[in-house]
Structure 1
Amino acid sequence: MKYLIVGLGNKGSEYENTRHNIGFKVAEKIAETLEVSFNTSNFGWLAEGKHKGRKVFVLKPDTYMNLSGNAVKYWMQKENIPLENVLIVTDDLALPFGTLRMKGKGSDAGHNGLKNINEVLQTQNYARLRFGISADFSAGRQVDYVLGTWNEEESEKLTERIETFSKASLSFVFAGLNNTMSAFNGK
């Protein structure tokens, strides 16, 4: 069985440690856990590994957030990965910092990366793992906030939260969506 885990983010060093790039950070931790490296590939950076006998592709799209759907669709088709074996890791303003929420389907909730994936795949029925970044910003400052770096309190907890999200992502591969939601949601 093949799985595709996609960490959403923006390419470029100026975005590396921003809230909006948490998907990339989780993807990097997954690759580290699988003891594989990212290679430049079509539509991004791809790491290929095995987890409990299952082939796992970990993707960091290089298409910028709002065009992520093209990368997801390309790798699903190239590797013949069914939609139910795809997990998208993304940030979520509606959740308190570090909160984990996995769902099997849903709206884009105003997230441009998810919006584009929904449009390109023509469905909202795919698993997504949302990393809460909270909404601690003044009116009209959302873009500055999501493209801003973590504050000191968040930075202190970030490594542990990324580790938990990596474990949840790999649980999706071997335990499935429902078991992973039961084990990890809200943690």
Structure 2
Amino acid sequence: MFLAVGLGNPGTRFERTRHNAGFRVVDILAERLGVPWKSEDRFSWARGVVGDKTLYLLKPLTFMNLSGEGLLAFFAHHGCAFEELIVIHDELDFPPGVVRIKIGGGVAGHRGLQSIVEALGREDFVRVRVGIGKPERRELVVDHVLGVPEKEESIILEAAEKRAAEAVLCIVEWGVQRAMNVFNAREENGQKEAC
């Protein structure tokens, strides 16, 4: 079993913000797999099948900075015997539209990731990162991540979110190493190779 956790903030006010890229990716996955969302107190979840593997999708509803609490609440209800944990999140350090996969590493100031690391007590999970770009000045970061992109940037981000969903499916079906080879190389070289 695999668990893909999309990071974001609940509520219509945040739906189109850059910070909610992770939520939008798992929404794309639920739609592709044809599975409905079920809501619980601190999270929404769905379950689908990719090939012969089960993929759970999760949206913590605890707000970004407390994402780990939503993940732990999910584990309390559904157990935590997952072969692979995949966390999908926005990434300030990449230009809009870039999608990269990595295993482990630091959190680079991302409070949702920090909350997941603190809840799990480990960093060695898979991350699918969706670039949202960085503002010129540090004091503009909060407004940037909670802002809604203009139309041109929005089109770029939507395409990246679809690629991020493809990356998750590739991880589940073919493994993280193959997915990294395909998607990270695609981003660097403009390749169109699929898993």
TM-score (normalizing by structure 1): 0.93
User: Please, which moves more after superposition, 20-29 or 70-79?
Assistant: 70-79
Displacement of 1:180 after TM fit?
0.6
Q: Which amino acid aligns with 1:159?
A: E
Structure 2 CA distance for aligned equivalents of residues 13 and 155 of structure 1: 17
Q: Deviations over 1:21-76 (max 9, x none)?
A: 00000010000110111111242111111110111110111010111112223334
The answer to whether 1:181 aligns with 2:177 is no
Q: Distance in 1 between matches of 2:173 and 2:131?
A: 24
Percent identical: 35
Matched, 1:155 2:154: yes
Instruction: Return the alpha-carbon distance in structure 1 between the equivalents of residues 16 and 73 of structure 2.
Output: 27
Give the distance between the partners of 2:102 and 2:75, measured in 1 at CA.
Answer: 19
Pair 1:20-2:19 in alignment: yes
* 1:144 paired to 2:143: yes
Q: Residue type of the partner of 1:177?
A: V
Aligned-CA RMSD value: 1.5
Following the alignment from structure 2 to structure 1, what is the Cα–Cα distance between the partners of residues 78 and 55? 11
Following TM superposition, the consecutive aligned residue runs of length 4 or more in structure 1 with deviations greater than 6 angstroms are none
For these two proteins, the number of residue pairs brought into alignment is: 186
Q: 5+ residue gaps in structure 2? A: 188-195
5+ residue gaps in structure 1?
Answer: none
Structure 2 equivalent of residue 70 of structure 1: 69
Matches of 2:174 and 2:19 in 1, distance apart?
28
1:119-172 CA distance string (max 9 Å, x none)? 111111111111110103434111001000012221122332221111001111
Question: Which has the higher mean CA deviation after the structures are superposed, 91-100 or 71-80?
Answer: 71-80
Structure 1 match to 2:55? 56
8 Å contact kept, 1:69–1:113: yes
Which residue of 2 is the match for residue 85 of structure 1? 84
The corresponding residue for 1:10 is 9
Deviations 1:2-37 (A, max 9, x none): 111000000111111000000000010000110111
Matches within 5 A, 1:62-141: 62-76=61-75, 78-82=77-81, 84-141=83-140
In the alignment, the residues of structure 2 paired with residue 71 and residue 95 of structure 1 have an alpha-carbon distance, to the nearest angstrom, of 26
Letter in 2 for 1:5: A
* Partner Cα separation in structure 2 for residue 144 and residue 33 of structure 1: 31
Q: Does 1:44 align with 2:40?
A: no
For 1:77 and 1:110, the matched residues in 2 are separated by 27
